[in-house]
Chain A
Amino acid sequence: MKRLPRTLHPLAWWLWAAGVATAASETSQPVLLLVLIAAAAYVVAARRAITPWSASYSAFMRIAVVVLVVRVVLYVLFGDAGGNHVLIRLPRVPLPTSWGVRIGGPLTAEGLISATEDGLRLGTVLICVGAANAVASPARLLKALPGALYEVGVAVSVAISFAPQAVVALGRARRARRLRGRSERGWRAVRGMAVPVLEDALERSIDLAAAMDARGFGRRGNVAPMHRRAATSLTVVGLLAICAGTYGLLAAGSPALLGVPLMLAGAVVAVAGFAVGNRASGRSHYRPDAWRGAEWAVATTGIVVAAAYVVVAHRDPATLDAISQPLRTPDVPWQLALTSIVAALPAFLAPPVPRPGSRSRPVPVPARARAEVAL
């Protein structure tokens, strides 16, 4: 039977990606990591939304490679891993021992491989994120924001729709400098360019505010005060629990109950607060993204993969271990090999993406897809 093309709920995609990323972060088994990358690549290739962000996958791919390289270079620089298969001994830069830093020294096969594995793991996580960005255009996440975050959501969507104009305005300002016979380079140019753009933006913000006000922005429906109060108290309690949980997590040897469990409980309560507040806000949503079977299916695949890896990681860590200590041929548990394939299923579970021109919802063209990773 023919499935109608529609865009999957972004949240489903992100759950899937998060699951795969979690799985990747559990292992440093290169073969498994490569399978996960391939799975993500396949899904992206099959179910890419037609947005300017589609390119982000390859962008993240490049970043992942950079991460890998950096990682290996670091090892070569400070190579002090174990292992007895010495490939080469770099001359050691004499540094006072007190620094605790050694540059140079033996490079072992074990060290090199473990560095690669480590880099590969980080790279895989990045690639999963890139996949999510590519299949679910992040701007659509905004529509999935809970009602309590409505105002902030508006601010962000204003920012998103205005940013391209700001870029254009920057260009105009640069030309204007030339028209006044100033050079458009150098620090001083920044001033000459920034000010007109900023002035425009600020003037616009005032018109915008008027327009929003006139269109009923911030007009709360008749909210039952008990609703409001319930939401509030839930949020507050949740926050407290989270605080306590964090504290318990970090305080040496606090009872286990005080750590993650409390934190998660707090999170749940806070979310409940959101839900209540959500019902309380007298707003409606125009054509909200549907959450149907396909969404469930895609989300599940992610969760399954993550679960499998986590379980194995705690049952039998040795199998997920690096193959560098000691050097050995990777022994891949067949269960994991199979689950990794599950990660590719969304390529078939998700409905086909609508072609542009039909009911697709385009989004303003952003600057070249670029991802910032704290490295």
Chain B
Amino acid sequence: MITFDHVSVTYPGASAAVLTDVDLTITAGELCLVVGSTGSGKSTFLKCINGLVPHFTGGTLSGRVVVDGRDTREHRPRELADIVGYVGQNPLSGFVSDTVEDELAYGMESLGVDSSTMRRRVEETLDLLGLADVRSRPLLTLSAGQQQRVAIGSVLTMHPSALVLDEPTSALDPPAAEEVLAALTRLVHDLGLTVVIAEHRLERVVQYADRIVHVPGAGAPLVIGDPHTVMATSPVAPPVVRLARSVGWSPLPLSVRDARSAATSLRERLRDHAPSPGPVEQLGELVASAHRLVVSYDGVIALAGVDVDIRRGEVVAVMGRNGAGKSTLLNTMAGLQAPDAGMLDVGGVAPARLAAPDVVRRVALVPQNPSDLLWRESVNAECIDADADAGVARGMTRAVLTELAPHIDDDTHPRDLSEGQRLALALAVLLVRRPPLLLLDEPTRGLDYAAKERLATIVQRLAADGHAVVFATHDVELVAEVATRVLVLAEGEVVSDGPTATVVTASPAFAPQVAKILAPQPWLTVGQVERALAG
């Protein structure tokens, strides 16, 4: 079906090859999972399949890539469109037209499919992906999950025999990701499509994969094999796998279900241990407190009477479904949104009343898209700007940055940084003013495991330094890792507020994998278990 024949890729201007001597064959009907940390070359690997590399990106490709008998040397991506469907990371940026139906039909139009067939395929696809009820909606009004499904549908209508997805969920929050992955697995099972998917939310897909390709990066040779063997060694692994490794189970369980059955003995061993309390919290003074806070955007109530106190040293996770008011809470605390009623006090004042410079001295907010905060041409320029804004000695920001994320090159363009590095830069730029309260909106979006771990340590260190950190997220693993307290919002109201362990284990929806495996025992993270077993 898809054959890589000793393929190496070098981009123009780059000194080293991204991929060297890749040699594999993906058989029809296979679900091939491509793992690897950000920037390791996953995307390059995928783009080779439909010829985007090198036709679109430029560069040198040695060896051959043959898809269904067509060699990418002779066939440009558009000539492969009818056999390879390629879906990129951010669904919204791939859209050409403005409504769902038109978008689904677009590909077929350029293939010249006759109109009756087009009509039929569109209807099929609408049903297959459960989009029938939004068929005539503008794409902008869809949820992220729906948008990604439309993106997938828009290539399915061309009836490709292979589907290539480049991190289809990295830009989505977990619920949306669930939707998409559910749809995908249905495709694999119903249509028997060949699917090559790069994904970092392994916990959801790894159990469906027939084969895993691990791209270590830096041109190192790929590790290819069946999930169990690859996962046994892969540095990128979901919690369930890491737990299994540390306890030394084999065969390696890939799903919570397998793990639970393997975990009986472990539960025995852990019965007489108690989870070491997470990051010890010594509560400092109050930095922010809201009382009966009510906020509404043009008529719609976003926050309906929220009470919350935040003290130094706390790490508060704000959870809840989309539109529950998480972002609104953070924006209001950062003074972007004026409350309609109730009292909000950040560092002794109401933030909305203050001029921008005074606010940022008290509270820093990193928005969902950190690059909004960055508008200079290089990391260095960005840091110097920040120094000037904060009125501190030149180099301070740079120092903060180096301790958040070591070895970032001064001259790199902020946009060329990885998501993790960019987040670090945004943090540094804000933290240089040492605001007591730090707010993060969906910080883990687009981060791979490594980046997430780095973020976790950063947050813990900040808390230890006496900052108060509040972050809105869907990512239960991160919450389990760092949060000292969880605040669950629903329809603008606080439905539960308490220590992480109690809130998270209370409902399966918010439970991390380890907790699910070891329930009813209150273990949250692999780290805790390892510590318990070690000690």
State if A and B touch, Cβ cutoff 8 Å: yes
A residues at B contact (CB < 8 Å)? 139, 154, 157-158, 160-161, 164-165, 172-173, 175-184, 191-192, 195-196, 199-200, 203-204, 207-219, 221, 282-288, 359-365
Cross-chain contact A179 with B118 (CB below 8 angstroms): no
Query: Which listed residue, B78, B139, B336, touches A213 by the CB 8 Å rule?
Result: B78
- B103 to A, closest residue via Cβ: A161
Measured in the bound complex, the distance between the Cα atoms of B111 and A282 in whole Å is: 8
Cross-chain contact A214 with B93 (CB below 8 angstroms): no
Cross-chain contact A160 with B112 (CB below 8 angstroms): no
Interface range on chain B (Cβ under 8 Å from partner): 35 or more
Query: Which listed residue, A139, A172, A177, A362, touches B369 by the CB 8 Å rule?
Result: A172
Q: Which 4 A-B pairs have the closest CB atoms?
A: A216-B81, A211-B94, A286-B105, A181-B360
Binds A, one of B24-32, B371-379, B457-465, B488-496: B371-379
Cross-chain contact B93 with A180 (CB below 8 angstroms): no
Contact A286/B138 with A181-B359, A215-B154 known, Cβ cut-off 8 Å: no
Query: Which listed residue, B56, B79, B371, B430, touches A209 by the CB 8 Å rule?
Result: B56
Query: Which listed residue, B138, B158, B433, touches A363 by the CB 8 Å rule?
Result: B138
Cross-chain contact B138 with A362 (CB below 8 angstroms): yes
Measured in the bound complex, the distance between the Cα atoms of B55 and A207 in whole Å is: 14
- A172 to B, closest residue via Cβ: B372
Cross-chain contact B112 with A207 (CB below 8 angstroms): no
Measured in the bound complex, the distance between the Cα atoms of B54 and A178 in whole Å is: 42
Is chain B's binding surface mostly helix, strand, loop or mixed? Answer: helix
What sequence of 0s and 1s flags, for each residue 58-100 of chain B, a beta carbon within 8 Å of any chain A beta carbon?
A: 0000000000000000001111111011111110111111110
| CB of B116 to closest CB in A, whole Å | 10
Cross-chain contact A214 with B84 (CB below 8 angstroms): yes
A to B CB contacts below 8 Å, 20 in the list: A154-B96, A161-B98, A172-B372, A178-B336, A180-B389, A182-B356, A191-B375, A196-B375, A204-B92, A211-B96, A213-B77, A214-B155, A215-B78, A215-B107, A216-B82, A285-B109, A287-B105, A361-B102, A362-B99, A363-B99
Cross-chain contact B375 with A192 (CB below 8 angstroms): yes
B residues at A contact (CB < 8 Å)? 47, 50, 52, 55-56, 76-82, 84-90, 92-99, 101-102, 105-115, 118-119, 122, 136-140, 151, 154-155, 158, 331, 334-336, 355-357, 359-361, 364-365, 367, 369, 371-375, 386, 389-390, 415, 429-430, 433
Measured in the bound complex, the distance between the Cα atoms of B372 and A195 in whole Å is: 9
Contact A286/B367 with A176-B372, A176-B373 known, Cβ cut-off 8 Å: no
Measured in the bound complex, the distance between the Cα atoms of B114 and A180 in whole Å is: 54
Cross-chain contact A160 with B98 (CB below 8 angstroms): yes
Most buried by A among B84, B96, B372: B372
Query: Which listed residue, B82, B119, B136, B140, touches A360 by the CB 8 Å rule?
Result: B136
Query: Which listed residue, B89, B154, B355, B367, touches A176 by the CB 8 Å rule?
Result: B367
Task: List, in ascending order, chain A residues with CB within 8 A of B76's CB.
Answer: 213
Task: List, in ascending order, chain B residues with CB within 8 A of A158's CB.
Answer: 96
| CB of B166 to closest CB in A, whole Å | 10
Query: Which listed residue, B90, B110, B389, touches A219 by the CB 8 Å rule?
Result: B110
Task: List, in ascending order, chain B residues with CB within 8 A of A172's CB.
Answer: 367, 369, 372
| CB of A184 to closest CB in B, whole Å | 8
Task: List, in ascending order, chain A residues with CB within 8 A of B122's CB.
Answer: 286
Cross-chain contact A196 with B98 (CB below 8 angstroms): no
Further contacts, 10 of them, CB under 8 A, given A176-B372, A284-B113: A161-B96, A172-B369, A207-B89, A210-B88, A211-B95, A213-B56, A221-B112, A286-B119, A287-B119, A364-B98
Cross-chain contact A211 with B93 (CB below 8 angstroms): yes
Contact A363/B98 with A182-B356, A215-B155, A218-B110 known, Cβ cut-off 8 Å: yes
Cross-chain contact A215 with B88 (CB below 8 angstroms): no
Task: List, in ascending order, chain A residues with CB within 8 A of B138's CB.
Answer: 362-365
Task: List, in ascending order, chain B residues with CB within 8 A of A204's CB.
Answer: 90, 92-93
- A195 to B, closest residue via Cβ: B375
Task: List, in ascending order, chain A residues with CB within 8 A of B84's CB.
Answer: 214
| CB of B52 to closest CB in A, whole Å | 6
Contact A207/B94 with A172-B367, A285-B115, A286-B102 known, Cβ cut-off 8 Å: yes
Task: List, in ascending order, chain B residues with CB within 8 A of A219's CB.
Answer: 78-79, 81, 110-111
Measured in the bound complex, the distance between the Cα atoms of B122 and A204 in whole Å is: 26
- B151 to A, closest residue via Cβ: A211
Contact A180/B112 with A215-B81, A359-B136, A364-B140 known, Cβ cut-off 8 Å: no
Query: Which listed residue, B47, B90, B102, B158, touches A215 by the CB 8 Å rule?
Result: B158
Cross-chain contact B108 with A284 (CB below 8 angstroms): yes
Cross-chain contact B111 with A175 (CB below 8 angstroms): no
| CB of A10 to closest CB in B, whole Å | 15
Task: List, in ascending order, chain B residues with CB within 8 A of A199's CB.
Answer: 371, 415
Task: List, in ascending order, chain B residues with CB within 8 A of A287's CB.
Answer: 101, 105, 115, 119
Measured in the bound complex, the distance between the Cα atoms of B47 and A319 in whole Å is: 71
Contact A362/B137 with A157-B98, A213-B78 known, Cβ cut-off 8 Å: yes
| CB of B308 to closest CB in A, whole Å | 21
- B99 to A, closest residue via Cβ: A361
Cross-chain contact B108 with A175 (CB below 8 angstroms): no
Contact A179/B158 with A154-B96, A214-B52 known, Cβ cut-off 8 Å: no
Task: List, in ascending order, chain B residues with CB within 8 A of A161's CB.
Answer: 95-98, 139-140
Cross-chain contact B360 with A179 (CB below 8 angstroms): yes
Task: List, in ascending order, chain B residues with CB within 8 A of A365's CB.
Answer: 138
Measured in the bound complex, the distance between the Cα atoms of B90 and A210 in whole Å is: 12
Measured in the bound complex, the distance between the Cα atoms of B108 and A219 in whole Å is: 11
Cross-chain contact A180 with B136 (CB below 8 angstroms): no
Contact A207/B359 with A161-B139, A173-B372, A214-B84 known, Cβ cut-off 8 Å: no
Task: List, in ascending order, chain A residues with CB within 8 A of B136's CB.
Answer: 359-362
Task: List, in ascending order, chain A residues with CB within 8 A of B94's CB.
Answer: 207-208, 210-211
Task: List, in ascending order, chain B residues with CB within 8 A of A178's CB.
Answer: 335-336, 356, 359
| CB of B154 to closest CB in A, whole Å | 7
Task: List, in ascending order, chain B residues with CB within 8 A of A180's CB.
Answer: 356, 360, 373, 386, 389, 429-430
Task: List, in ascending order, chain B residues with CB within 8 A of A200's CB.
Answer: 371
- A180 to B, closest residue via Cβ: B373
Contact A157/B97 with A203-B415, A213-B77 known, Cβ cut-off 8 Å: yes
Task: List, in ascending order, chain B residues with CB within 8 A of A209's CB.
Answer: 56
- B361 to A, closest residue via Cβ: A181
Cross-chain contact A214 with B81 (CB below 8 angstroms): yes
Query: Which listed residue, A177, A179, A283, A288, touches B110 by the CB 8 Å rule?
Result: A283
